[in-house]
Structure 1
Amino acid sequence: MRTVIFDLDGTLADTSADLIASANACFRGLGYGDVLDPVADAKTAFRGGRAMLALGFGRVRPAFTQEDVSAQYPILLDAYSEAIDVHTRLYEGAAEAVEALRRDGYAVGVCTNKPEALADRLLVSLGIRDLFASMIGAQTVGVSKPDPKPYIAAVEEAGGVVAQSFIVGDTETDRKTARAAGVPCALVTFGPDGSDVRDLAPEALLDHYRDLGRITKDLIG
Protein backbone atom coordinates (compact mmCIF):
# COMPACT_ATOMS: atom_id res chain seq x y z
CA MET A 1 0.00 0.00 0.00
CA ARG A 2 1.21 3.50 -0.82
CA THR A 3 1.96 5.30 2.44
CA VAL A 4 2.48 8.85 3.69
CA ILE A 5 4.24 9.32 7.03
CA PHE A 6 4.01 12.60 8.91
CA ASP A 7 6.22 14.25 11.46
CA LEU A 8 4.18 15.89 14.24
CA ASP A 9 5.72 19.02 15.78
CA GLY A 10 6.00 21.79 13.21
CA THR A 11 4.43 19.60 10.52
CA LEU A 12 0.92 18.62 11.58
CA ALA A 13 0.64 21.06 14.47
CA ASP A 14 2.25 24.19 15.84
CA THR A 15 3.26 22.98 19.30
CA SER A 16 5.97 25.57 19.94
CA ALA A 17 4.25 27.69 22.60
CA ASP A 18 3.39 24.72 24.81
CA LEU A 19 6.89 23.30 24.39
CA ILE A 20 8.50 26.61 25.35
CA ALA A 21 6.18 26.85 28.36
CA SER A 22 7.37 23.46 29.60
CA ALA A 23 11.01 24.55 29.41
CA ASN A 24 10.22 27.82 31.15
CA ALA A 25 8.61 25.85 33.97
CA CYS A 26 12.04 24.31 34.57
CA PHE A 27 13.78 27.67 34.64
CA ARG A 28 11.16 29.14 36.95
CA GLY A 29 11.76 26.23 39.29
CA LEU A 30 15.46 27.10 39.29
CA GLY A 31 14.67 30.74 40.10
CA TYR A 32 15.47 32.22 36.68
CA GLY A 33 11.95 33.06 35.57
CA ASP A 34 10.83 32.66 31.95
CA VAL A 35 14.09 32.47 30.02
CA LEU A 36 12.70 31.47 26.62
CA ASP A 37 10.39 33.43 24.34
CA PRO A 38 7.51 31.53 22.69
CA VAL A 39 7.91 33.45 19.43
CA ALA A 40 11.62 34.19 19.10
CA ASP A 41 12.63 30.72 20.29
CA ALA A 42 10.00 28.71 18.40
CA LYS A 43 12.56 27.15 16.04
CA THR A 44 14.47 25.68 18.98
CA ALA A 45 11.25 24.29 20.45
CA PHE A 46 10.85 22.05 17.43
CA ARG A 47 14.31 20.61 17.99
CA GLY A 48 13.30 19.03 21.27
CA GLY A 49 13.31 19.47 25.00
CA ARG A 50 17.05 19.12 25.44
CA ALA A 51 17.70 21.79 22.82
CA MET A 52 15.37 24.19 24.61
CA LEU A 53 17.04 23.54 27.94
CA ALA A 54 20.50 24.01 26.45
CA LEU A 55 19.45 27.31 24.89
CA GLY A 56 18.02 28.56 28.18
CA PHE A 57 20.96 27.44 30.26
CA GLY A 58 23.26 29.16 27.81
CA ARG A 59 21.57 32.43 28.71
CA VAL A 60 21.48 32.11 32.48
CA ARG A 61 24.24 29.64 33.33
CA PRO A 62 26.88 29.69 30.55
CA ALA A 63 29.01 27.07 32.29
CA PHE A 64 26.13 24.56 32.31
CA THR A 65 26.78 20.88 31.64
CA GLN A 66 24.79 18.12 29.99
CA GLU A 67 24.11 16.86 33.50
CA ASP A 68 22.18 20.09 34.11
CA VAL A 69 20.13 19.43 31.00
CA SER A 70 19.53 15.79 31.89
CA ALA A 71 18.42 16.68 35.40
CA GLN A 72 15.76 19.07 34.10
CA TYR A 73 14.55 16.96 31.20
CA PRO A 74 12.14 14.76 33.23
CA ILE A 75 10.76 17.91 34.87
CA LEU A 76 10.18 19.40 31.43
CA LEU A 77 8.33 16.28 30.28
CA ASP A 78 6.11 16.36 33.37
CA ALA A 79 5.30 20.04 32.81
CA TYR A 80 4.55 19.41 29.16
CA SER A 81 2.34 16.43 29.97
CA GLU A 82 0.27 18.57 32.32
CA ALA A 83 -0.26 21.34 29.75
CA ILE A 84 0.18 19.67 26.37
CA ASP A 85 -2.56 21.40 24.42
CA VAL A 86 -3.06 24.87 25.87
CA HIS A 87 -1.81 26.73 22.79
CA THR A 88 -1.18 23.92 20.29
CA ARG A 89 -3.18 24.06 17.06
CA LEU A 90 -3.29 21.96 13.91
CA TYR A 91 -2.02 23.72 10.83
CA GLU A 92 -4.78 24.86 8.50
CA GLY A 93 -6.11 22.03 6.37
CA ALA A 94 -4.01 19.28 7.99
CA ALA A 95 -6.84 17.07 9.19
CA GLU A 96 -8.79 17.46 5.96
CA ALA A 97 -5.71 16.58 3.88
CA VAL A 98 -5.04 13.42 5.88
CA GLU A 99 -8.68 12.38 5.56
CA ALA A 100 -8.49 12.93 1.80
CA LEU A 101 -5.43 10.69 1.52
CA ARG A 102 -7.26 7.94 3.36
CA ARG A 103 -10.26 8.26 1.05
CA ASP A 104 -7.92 7.97 -1.92
CA GLY A 105 -6.56 4.67 -0.60
CA TYR A 106 -3.29 5.77 0.98
CA ALA A 107 -2.11 4.53 4.37
CA VAL A 108 -1.01 7.27 6.76
CA GLY A 109 1.07 7.25 9.92
CA VAL A 110 3.14 9.38 12.27
CA CYS A 111 6.87 9.22 12.97
CA THR A 112 8.00 11.77 15.54
CA ASN A 113 10.87 12.37 17.94
CA LYS A 114 8.35 13.28 20.64
CA PRO A 115 7.95 10.46 23.21
CA GLU A 116 5.26 8.14 21.89
CA ALA A 117 2.91 8.45 24.86
CA LEU A 118 2.94 12.23 24.64
CA ALA A 119 2.49 12.21 20.86
CA ASP A 120 -0.40 9.79 21.12
CA ARG A 121 -2.05 11.87 23.84
CA LEU A 122 -1.66 15.07 21.83
CA LEU A 123 -3.21 13.60 18.70
CA VAL A 124 -6.13 12.34 20.76
CA SER A 125 -6.56 15.82 22.22
CA LEU A 126 -6.46 17.35 18.74
CA GLY A 127 -9.10 14.86 17.59
CA ILE A 128 -7.05 13.21 14.85
CA ARG A 129 -5.48 10.10 16.43
CA ASP A 130 -7.94 7.79 14.67
CA LEU A 131 -6.79 9.06 11.28
CA PHE A 132 -3.38 7.41 11.62
CA ALA A 133 -2.67 3.71 11.26
CA SER A 134 0.73 3.94 12.94
CA MET A 135 2.43 5.94 15.67
CA ILE A 136 6.18 5.69 16.21
CA GLY A 137 7.78 8.06 18.71
CA ALA A 138 11.21 8.72 20.14
CA GLN A 139 12.88 5.47 21.13
CA THR A 140 9.80 3.35 20.29
CA VAL A 141 12.12 1.11 18.31
CA GLY A 142 15.24 1.94 20.32
CA VAL A 143 16.45 4.82 18.16
CA SER A 144 15.05 8.13 16.89
CA LYS A 145 15.11 10.04 13.61
CA PRO A 146 17.21 10.62 11.56
CA ASP A 147 17.94 6.91 11.94
CA PRO A 148 15.66 5.30 9.33
CA LYS A 149 14.39 2.53 11.63
CA PRO A 150 11.54 4.56 13.18
CA TYR A 151 10.38 5.64 9.73
CA ILE A 152 10.48 2.10 8.40
CA ALA A 153 8.54 0.91 11.45
CA ALA A 154 5.91 3.61 10.90
CA VAL A 155 5.44 2.57 7.27
CA GLU A 156 5.21 -1.13 8.06
CA GLU A 157 2.88 -0.64 11.03
CA ALA A 158 0.57 1.32 8.73
CA GLY A 159 0.51 -1.63 6.33
CA GLY A 160 2.72 -0.10 3.66
CA VAL A 161 6.06 -0.76 2.02
CA VAL A 162 8.96 1.65 2.19
CA ALA A 163 9.50 1.72 -1.58
CA GLN A 164 6.03 3.24 -2.03
CA SER A 165 6.17 5.83 0.72
CA PHE A 166 7.42 9.30 1.61
CA ILE A 167 7.73 11.53 4.65
CA VAL A 168 6.17 14.93 5.28
CA GLY A 169 8.31 16.94 7.68
CA ASP A 170 9.66 20.36 8.57
CA THR A 171 13.34 20.16 9.48
CA GLU A 172 16.72 18.81 8.48
CA THR A 173 16.04 15.80 10.70
CA ASP A 174 13.19 14.72 8.43
CA ARG A 175 15.30 15.37 5.34
CA LYS A 176 18.09 13.18 6.71
CA THR A 177 15.58 10.49 7.68
CA ALA A 178 14.23 10.38 4.13
CA ARG A 179 17.71 10.08 2.67
CA ALA A 180 18.63 7.32 5.12
CA ALA A 181 15.48 5.39 4.23
CA GLY A 182 15.87 6.02 0.51
CA VAL A 183 12.48 7.74 0.12
CA PRO A 184 11.27 11.16 -1.05
CA CYS A 185 10.65 13.99 1.36
CA ALA A 186 8.17 16.87 1.31
CA LEU A 187 9.01 19.72 3.69
CA VAL A 188 6.43 22.24 4.83
CA THR A 189 7.19 25.92 4.35
CA PHE A 190 4.84 27.03 7.14
CA GLY A 191 6.88 25.34 9.87
CA PRO A 192 9.63 26.78 12.06
CA ASP A 193 12.18 27.16 9.26
CA GLY A 194 9.74 28.64 6.75
CA SER A 195 10.98 28.80 3.17
CA ASP A 196 14.55 28.15 4.35
CA VAL A 197 13.76 24.42 4.03
CA ARG A 198 14.24 24.94 0.29
CA ASP A 199 17.99 24.84 0.97
CA LEU A 200 17.63 21.21 2.11
CA ALA A 201 16.64 20.23 -1.44
CA PRO A 202 13.57 18.14 -0.64
CA GLU A 203 11.73 16.42 -3.46
CA ALA A 204 8.75 18.69 -2.76
CA LEU A 205 7.79 21.81 -0.82
CA LEU A 206 4.38 21.93 0.84
CA ASP A 207 3.12 25.50 1.10
CA HIS A 208 -0.39 24.54 2.26
CA TYR A 209 -2.10 21.26 3.05
CA ARG A 210 -4.48 21.76 0.14
CA ASP A 211 -1.50 20.85 -2.09
CA LEU A 212 -0.78 17.54 -0.36
CA GLY A 213 -2.86 15.37 -2.69
CA ARG A 214 -1.09 16.66 -5.77
CA ILE A 215 2.34 16.29 -4.18
CA THR A 216 1.53 12.76 -3.05
CA LYS A 217 0.59 11.72 -6.58
CA ASP A 218 3.77 13.31 -7.92
CA LEU A 219 5.99 11.50 -5.41
CA ILE A 220 4.48 8.01 -5.12
CA GLY A 221 1.62 7.88 -7.62
Structure 2
Amino acid sequence: MSAARFPKVVLFDLDGTLLDSAPDMLAAVNAMRASRGEPAMDLAALRPHVSKGARAMVGAAFPGADAGTRDGWIPEFLDHYRRQLGHHGLPFGGIEDALAAIEAGGSRWGIVTNKPESLAVALMPLLGWETRCAVLIGGDTLASRKPDPLPLLVAAERLGVDVVDCAYVGDDERDIVAARAAGMHSVVALWGYRLDHDDPTTWGGDVMIDAPRDMLDPACWPG
Protein backbone atom coordinates (compact mmCIF):
# COMPACT_ATOMS: atom_id res chain seq x y z
CA MET A 1 0.00 0.00 0.00
CA SER A 2 1.35 3.42 -0.89
CA ALA A 3 2.15 5.75 1.99
CA ALA A 4 0.00 8.34 0.25
CA ARG A 5 -3.01 6.15 0.92
CA PHE A 6 -2.84 6.90 4.63
CA PRO A 7 -3.27 10.34 6.15
CA LYS A 8 -0.01 11.77 7.46
CA VAL A 9 -1.41 11.33 10.97
CA VAL A 10 -4.21 9.07 12.16
CA LEU A 11 -5.60 10.01 15.57
CA PHE A 12 -7.73 7.57 17.50
CA ASP A 13 -10.14 7.59 20.38
CA LEU A 14 -9.04 4.96 22.93
CA ASP A 15 -11.91 3.16 24.70
CA GLY A 16 -14.23 1.51 22.20
CA THR A 17 -12.03 2.36 19.23
CA LEU A 18 -8.54 0.99 19.84
CA LEU A 19 -9.17 -0.83 23.08
CA ASP A 20 -11.95 -3.12 24.27
CA SER A 21 -11.65 -1.82 27.82
CA ALA A 22 -15.17 -2.78 28.91
CA PRO A 23 -13.97 -5.88 30.84
CA ASP A 24 -11.66 -3.70 32.97
CA MET A 25 -14.50 -1.24 33.56
CA LEU A 26 -16.81 -4.09 34.50
CA ALA A 27 -14.37 -5.34 37.14
CA ALA A 28 -14.29 -1.83 38.61
CA VAL A 29 -18.07 -1.35 38.83
CA ASN A 30 -18.55 -4.86 40.16
CA ALA A 31 -16.06 -4.19 42.96
CA MET A 32 -18.20 -1.18 43.86
CA ARG A 33 -21.41 -3.18 43.66
CA ALA A 34 -19.98 -5.98 45.80
CA SER A 35 -19.00 -3.50 48.51
CA ARG A 36 -22.62 -2.36 48.59
CA GLY A 37 -24.10 -5.85 48.67
CA GLU A 38 -25.24 -5.72 45.05
CA PRO A 39 -24.93 -8.63 42.60
CA ALA A 40 -22.47 -8.47 39.76
CA MET A 41 -23.44 -6.53 36.64
CA ASP A 42 -23.32 -8.25 33.24
CA LEU A 43 -20.79 -7.08 30.67
CA ALA A 44 -23.52 -6.66 28.07
CA ALA A 45 -25.32 -4.18 30.33
CA LEU A 46 -22.24 -2.01 30.86
CA ARG A 47 -20.62 -2.19 27.43
CA PRO A 48 -22.84 0.41 25.66
CA HIS A 49 -21.98 3.04 28.28
CA VAL A 50 -18.18 2.76 28.24
CA SER A 51 -17.52 5.44 25.62
CA LYS A 52 -19.75 7.86 27.53
CA GLY A 53 -17.27 8.03 30.42
CA ALA A 54 -17.07 7.32 34.14
CA ARG A 55 -20.24 9.23 35.04
CA ALA A 56 -22.29 7.21 32.56
CA MET A 57 -20.83 3.89 33.73
CA VAL A 58 -21.45 4.64 37.39
CA GLY A 59 -24.98 5.70 36.44
CA ALA A 60 -25.57 2.44 34.61
CA ALA A 61 -24.21 0.44 37.54
CA PHE A 62 -26.31 2.28 40.12
CA PRO A 63 -29.47 3.53 38.39
CA GLY A 64 -31.33 3.80 41.70
CA ALA A 65 -28.91 6.31 43.23
CA ASP A 66 -29.44 10.02 42.71
CA ALA A 67 -27.11 11.91 40.38
CA GLY A 68 -25.31 13.74 43.17
CA THR A 69 -24.53 10.52 45.01
CA ARG A 70 -23.29 8.85 41.84
CA ASP A 71 -21.03 11.81 41.04
CA GLY A 72 -19.51 11.44 44.49
CA TRP A 73 -18.66 7.83 43.68
CA ILE A 74 -16.65 8.62 40.55
CA PRO A 75 -13.28 8.86 42.38
CA GLU A 76 -14.00 5.46 43.92
CA PHE A 77 -14.74 4.04 40.47
CA LEU A 78 -11.49 5.47 39.09
CA ASP A 79 -9.53 4.01 42.00
CA HIS A 80 -10.97 0.56 41.32
CA TYR A 81 -10.34 0.98 37.59
CA ARG A 82 -6.67 1.86 38.18
CA ARG A 83 -6.27 -1.47 39.95
CA GLN A 84 -7.89 -3.32 37.04
CA LEU A 85 -6.12 -1.36 34.30
CA GLY A 86 -5.07 -3.66 31.47
CA HIS A 87 -5.92 -6.85 33.37
CA HIS A 88 -8.88 -7.88 31.24
CA GLY A 89 -9.21 -5.56 28.24
CA LEU A 90 -7.39 -6.01 24.93
CA PRO A 91 -7.10 -4.17 21.62
CA PHE A 92 -9.97 -5.01 19.30
CA GLY A 93 -9.19 -7.69 16.75
CA GLY A 94 -7.42 -6.16 13.77
CA ILE A 95 -6.21 -3.04 15.57
CA GLU A 96 -2.61 -4.18 15.78
CA ASP A 97 -2.62 -4.96 12.05
CA ALA A 98 -4.04 -1.52 11.28
CA LEU A 99 -1.48 0.28 13.44
CA ALA A 100 1.35 -1.70 11.89
CA ALA A 101 0.11 -0.83 8.39
CA ILE A 102 -0.09 2.86 9.24
CA GLU A 103 3.47 2.76 10.54
CA ALA A 104 4.73 0.73 7.56
CA GLY A 105 3.14 3.30 5.26
CA GLY A 106 5.26 6.04 6.79
CA SER A 107 2.46 7.69 8.71
CA ARG A 108 2.15 8.33 12.43
CA TRP A 109 -0.69 7.64 14.83
CA GLY A 110 -1.74 9.02 18.18
CA ILE A 111 -4.51 9.01 20.75
CA VAL A 112 -7.00 11.69 21.77
CA THR A 113 -9.22 10.39 24.55
CA ASN A 114 -11.46 11.73 27.29
CA LYS A 115 -9.92 9.20 29.69
CA PRO A 116 -7.75 10.93 32.33
CA GLU A 117 -4.27 11.35 30.93
CA SER A 118 -2.60 9.43 33.75
CA LEU A 119 -4.73 6.35 33.06
CA ALA A 120 -4.17 6.51 29.31
CA VAL A 121 -0.41 6.92 29.78
CA ALA A 122 -0.33 3.98 32.20
CA LEU A 123 -1.94 1.77 29.57
CA MET A 124 0.69 2.45 26.90
CA PRO A 125 3.45 0.10 28.20
CA LEU A 126 0.86 -2.56 29.00
CA LEU A 127 -0.13 -2.54 25.33
CA GLY A 128 3.39 -2.10 23.96
CA TRP A 129 2.47 1.30 22.53
CA GLU A 130 4.62 3.60 24.65
CA THR A 131 7.17 4.21 21.87
CA ARG A 132 4.72 3.88 18.99
CA CYS A 133 2.02 6.38 19.95
CA ALA A 134 3.25 9.71 18.58
CA VAL A 135 1.01 11.92 20.71
CA LEU A 136 -1.41 11.33 23.57
CA ILE A 137 -3.99 13.86 24.76
CA GLY A 138 -6.19 12.89 27.72
CA GLY A 139 -9.46 14.28 28.95
CA ASP A 140 -7.71 16.41 31.57
CA THR A 141 -4.60 17.34 29.55
CA LEU A 142 -6.13 20.61 28.39
CA ALA A 143 -8.80 23.04 29.53
CA SER A 144 -11.38 21.41 27.24
CA ARG A 145 -12.10 17.89 26.07
CA LYS A 146 -14.16 16.33 23.30
CA PRO A 147 -16.56 17.29 21.79
CA ASP A 148 -14.54 20.52 21.92
CA PRO A 149 -12.04 20.44 19.03
CA LEU A 150 -9.15 21.76 21.16
CA PRO A 151 -7.58 18.33 21.94
CA LEU A 152 -7.48 17.44 18.25
CA LEU A 153 -6.06 20.80 17.28
CA VAL A 154 -3.34 20.53 19.94
CA ALA A 155 -2.50 16.97 18.86
CA ALA A 156 -1.95 18.15 15.29
CA GLU A 157 0.09 21.11 16.50
CA ARG A 158 2.32 18.92 18.65
CA LEU A 159 3.02 16.70 15.65
CA GLY A 160 3.67 19.65 13.38
CA VAL A 161 0.98 18.77 10.82
CA ASP A 162 -1.99 20.61 9.40
CA VAL A 163 -5.41 19.39 10.48
CA VAL A 164 -6.33 18.60 6.88
CA ASP A 165 -3.54 16.02 6.87
CA CYS A 166 -5.09 14.19 9.84
CA ALA A 167 -7.97 11.77 10.26
CA TYR A 168 -9.70 11.06 13.54
CA VAL A 169 -11.25 7.65 14.25
CA GLY A 170 -13.85 7.31 17.02
CA ASP A 171 -16.88 5.32 18.10
CA ASP A 172 -18.89 8.10 19.78
CA GLU A 173 -20.78 11.06 18.35
CA ARG A 174 -18.65 13.54 20.27
CA ASP A 175 -15.58 12.15 18.47
CA ILE A 176 -17.08 13.05 15.13
CA VAL A 177 -18.36 16.42 16.37
CA ALA A 178 -14.86 17.27 17.60
CA ALA A 179 -13.24 16.19 14.33
CA ARG A 180 -15.66 18.23 12.23
CA ALA A 181 -15.15 21.30 14.41
CA ALA A 182 -11.37 20.88 14.13
CA GLY A 183 -11.55 20.60 10.34
CA MET A 184 -10.24 17.02 10.38
CA HIS A 185 -11.44 14.08 8.35
CA SER A 186 -13.55 11.78 10.51
CA VAL A 187 -14.00 8.01 10.56
CA VAL A 188 -16.83 6.37 12.53
CA ALA A 189 -15.74 3.11 14.18
CA LEU A 190 -18.88 0.98 14.12
CA TRP A 191 -17.34 -1.79 16.24
CA GLY A 192 -17.31 0.40 19.35
CA TYR A 193 -19.69 1.04 22.24
CA ARG A 194 -23.07 2.55 21.46
CA LEU A 195 -26.41 2.87 23.21
CA ASP A 196 -29.45 1.48 21.41
CA HIS A 197 -30.69 4.93 20.44
CA ASP A 198 -27.34 6.10 19.03
CA ASP A 199 -27.53 6.42 15.25
CA PRO A 200 -24.08 6.91 13.72
CA THR A 201 -25.58 7.68 10.33
CA THR A 202 -26.66 11.05 11.77
CA TRP A 203 -23.25 12.02 13.16
CA GLY A 204 -21.91 13.47 9.92
CA GLY A 205 -18.74 11.38 9.73
CA ASP A 206 -16.88 11.28 6.45
CA VAL A 207 -16.86 7.48 6.37
CA MET A 208 -18.11 4.62 8.55
CA ILE A 209 -16.18 1.37 8.87
CA ASP A 210 -17.42 -1.92 10.26
CA ALA A 211 -14.22 -3.47 11.60
CA PRO A 212 -10.62 -2.45 12.40
CA ARG A 213 -9.23 -4.48 9.50
CA ASP A 214 -11.23 -2.29 7.13
CA MET A 215 -8.63 0.38 7.83
CA LEU A 216 -6.19 -1.67 5.76
CA ASP A 217 -8.28 -0.80 2.70
CA PRO A 218 -7.16 2.48 1.10
CA ALA A 219 -10.76 3.20 0.15
CA CYS A 220 -11.78 3.58 3.80
CA TRP A 221 -9.77 6.75 4.29
CA PRO A 222 -11.41 10.09 3.50
CA GLY A 223 -9.41 12.75 1.80
- TM bucket (normalised to shorter chain) is 0.7 to 0.9
Aligned residue in 2 for 1:204: 207
Partner residue in 1 for 2:10 = 4
Return 100-109 or 162-171, whichever deviates more. 100-109
- Output the CA distance in 1 between the equivalents of 2:103 and 2:220: 13
Shift of the 107–160 alpha-carbon distance from structure 1 to 2, 3 Å rule, reads farther
- Deviation (angstroms), 1:196: 4.5
1:141 to partner: Cα distance: 1.0
Moved more, 22-31 or 77-86: 22-31
Alignment-derived partner of residue 4 in structure 2: none
Q: Alignment partner of 2:88: what SS?
A: coil
Deviates more, 1:126-135 or 1:154-163: 154-163
- The whole-number CA distance in structure 2 between the counterparts of 1:159 and 1:98 is 20
C-alpha contact (below 8 Å) 1:93/1:210 kept by paired residues: yes
1:31 aligns with 2:37: yes
- Aligned-residue RMSD, C-alpha: 2.2
Residue in structure 2 matching 1:44, options 49, 57, 60: 49
Q: Percent identity?
A: 32
Paired residues of 1:111 and 1:136 also in contact (CA < 8 A): yes
Q: Among residues 45, 53, 58, which one is paired with 2:58 in the alignment?
A: 53
Separation in 2 of the partners of 1:33 and 1:160?
49
The question of whether the paired residues in 2 share the 8 Å contact of 1:145 and 1:177 is answered with yes
* 1:127 corresponding residue in structure 2: 128
* Equivalent position SS for 1:186: strand
Structure 1, 148-157 or 205-214: larger mean CA deviation: 205-214
Q: Which sections of structure 2, spanning at least 5 residues, go unmatched?
A: 1-6
Kept in 2: contact 1:108–1:132 (CA 8 A):
yes
Aligned twin of 1:97 = 98
Aligned to 2:107: 106
Determine helix, strand or coil for the equivalent of 1:160.
coil
Map Cα deviations across residues 105-139 of structure 1 (whole Å, 9 max, x no partner): 22211000111111121122112232211000011
TM-score, length basis structure 2: 0.87
SS at match of 2:114: strand
The normalised TM-score by structure 1 is 0.88
| Aligned residue type for 2:70 | V
1:204–1:215 Cα contact (<8 Å) kept: no
CA distance in 1, matches of 2:59, 2:203: 25
Partner SS state of residue 114, structure 1: coil
Give the aligned residue type for 1:44.
H
Preserved CA contact (<8 Å) 1:5 1:168: yes
Q: Say which is worse superposed, 156-165 or 111-120, in terms of deviation.
A: 156-165
- In structure 2, distance between residues paired with 1:16 and 1:217: 26
Count of paired positions = 215
Cα separation, 2, equivalents of 1:158 and 1:102: 15
Residue 139 to residue 216, structure 1, CA distance change in 2 (3 Å): farther
- Stretch of structure 1 that moved more, 163-172 or 17-26: 17-26
For the residue of structure 2 that corresponds to 1:32, the secondary structure is: coil
